[in-house]
Amino acid sequence: MNLEEYCKYDATGLAELVRNGDVSAKELAEFAAEGVVKVNPMLNAIIEVFRDRVDTLDESTIPDGPFSGVPFFLKDLGPRQKGRLQEAGSRLMKGYIAEYSSFITEKIELSGLNIMGRTTCPEYGLTGTTESVLTGVTANPWDTDKIAGGSSGGSAAITAAGVVPMCHSNDGGGSTRLPASICGNAGMKHSRGRVSYAPEGCDLLFPLFSEGVNARTIRDLAGFLDAVMGPAPGEGIPWARPERPYVEEVSCNPGKLKIAVCTDKFGTVSYDKYVAAETTRVAKLCEKAGHIVEEAAPEMNYERYQEMFKRIWTIDISLQIDYEAQLMSRSISGETLEPMTLQMYETGKSATASDRLQVTAAMSAAARQLGMFYEQYDLLLTPVLAQPTPSLGSGFTLSKEGQTLDEWFDNAFQLVPATPLNNFTGTPAVSLPLARDSQGLPLGMHFMAPIGREDRLFNIAGQLEQIAPWRDKIPPVHVNSI
């Protein structure tokens, strides 16, 4: 095998080669490390390669799992790995070394994935572009003047660029799906509680967040969820395991689904004309596949949903920052936090317990309204982005001076009006690389499902992957073209 051949396989395929003895885990790690050397100078997507997981890799440490020996990177935020740095893209956390591994990290390791480094993220994952004072600017492999998305932009960029076939991401408002859309990958946000947050938190403390991956194939998305889902002992959400593995759902005929589509606007936000046209085109593609497609949107107070989302965003990040400032024995100031992060922190600190309870009530109300909508429809289709991919240095950066927090949030909702609703209500959604924006850059189509119905998403995703394949579409910055 050589690097060119390595890039042709998804994670499931590479693991099969390892099991058959056609390639070793160390050889795969060396290919991934070679890919880092080629593309990272142009992308700045990887913070660190763990040389002990490449040069001196002990293959006996890799369990026999569904992804045995496959190279993998953790985003520098969320799941911790004992003895490794995790800095959350922030000067406040610079130099932090984890004292334990998170529950999901242990499951990732048990799946056989070889965690060999860290990818970039914006400070605390708080925005849709991966640009930070600590680690610099992460570029889009399709156009290095454009954002790679956020907050999992580093993971999305190296997946699209062929360094690894899939890479860890997480999602608090679209942070898996937005960079997947921009970089031309697939990415799913799972139902609340489907993947454990132990021991850092739980579904009550972290109701917005979902751990996942950016991947090139749907079977890798499904296989990863099969490997890591499930509660830690004693956790309160009694999710039953699905009737069959999600990886089997990928090849299942979804039947005739009733799909609602928002072709030109979502809530109060109108789409760019080209985005609207692409959404209509994909809706027609679903019709040709045998599904019933109707123009429809959930009835809810979208302005209140956005206002309550902003409130929980600032409250929860202020609690996290307070905890980590104490952990690192550092003060909270403009020397340790970027301007917009500091504004979020200060706003969250001024909130009351009553404010947080109002958010919980609003989340429950929105979830029930959405649930009533799904009594009529199986899925809801929107684009991930309402506008073309922004350039680097836009108003979405956390270091941007001279704007209020309300202005910053308004900019964010104008770009991604739909994705935060899934985090707010706990419902699952997937971004599929089925479209292009007016610049010719990837644009994800966003399928949303009722709570607990990831199976429907894997059904439709697997079908569309066959009808309109994307796997061979690669960006200019790619390990095989540099």
CB 404 within 8 A of CB 411: no
Name the domain count of the chain: 1
Q: What share of the chain is helix, strand, coil (3-state, %, to 5)?
A: 40, 15, 45
Q: How far apart are CA 343 and CA 127, in angstroms?
A: 13
Task: Please give the residue range of the domain that contains residue 155.
Answer: 3-467
Q: How far apart are CA 343 and CA 346, in angstroms?
A: 5
What are the C-alpha distances in Å from 391 to residues 130, 147, 149, 446?
12, 6, 10, 22
Q: How far apart are CA 476 and CA 482, in angstroms?
A: 8
pTM: 0.98
Q: Is 475 a member of any domain?
A: no
Residue with tokens 């799946």: 111
- Rounded to a whole number of angstroms, the distance between the first and last alpha carbons of the chain is 18
The single-letter code of the amino acid at 198 is A
For residue 187, the cross-strand partners are 214, 431
Query: What is the predicted pLDDT for the residue at 90?
Result: 98
Q: Is 21 a member of any domain?
A: yes
CB 182 within 8 A of CB 161: no
Q: Is 479 a member of any domain?
A: no
Can you give 52-84 as a three-state secondary structure string?
Answer: HHCCCCCHHHCCCCCCCCCEEEEECCCCCCCCC
Please, what's the b/e burial string for 29-40 (b: 16 or more CB within 10 A of its CB; e: otherwise)? bbbbbebbebbb
Q: Is 482 a member of any domain?
A: no
Q: How far apart are CA 312 and CA 89, in angstroms?
A: 21
DSSP string, 192-225: TTSB--TTT--TTTSTT-EEEEEESSHHHHHHHH
Q: Is 65 a member of any domain?
A: yes
For residue 445, the cross-strand partners are 383, 432
Q: Is 418 a member of any domain?
A: yes
CATH number at residue 441: 3.90.1300.10
CB 127 within 8 A of CB 403: no
pLDDT string in tens for the chain (482-residue length): 999 999 999 999 999 999 999 999 999 999 999 999 999 999 999 999 999 999 999 999 999 999 999 999 999 999 999 999 999 999 999 999 999 999 999 999 999 999 999 999 999 999 999 999 999 999 999 999 999 999 999 999 999 999 999 999 999 999 999 999 999 999 999 999 999 999 998 888 889 999 999 999 999 999 999 999 999 998 877 666 788 999 999 999 999 999 999 999 999 999 999 999 999 999 999 999 999 999 999 999 999 999 999 999 999 999 999 999 999 999 999 999 999 999 999 999 999 999 999 999 999 999 999 999 999 999 999 999 999 999 999 988 999 889 999 999 999 999 999 999 999 999 999 999 999 999 999 999 999 999 999 999 999 999 999 999 999 999 999 999 98
Q: Locate 272 and state its tokens.
A: 């760019």
Q: Locate 267 and state its tokens.
A: 């809530």
Q: Is 307 a member of any domain?
A: yes
Cβ neighbours of residue 254 closer than 8 Å, sequence gap 6 or more: 291, 456, 459, 460, 463
The SS3 call for residue 416 is coil
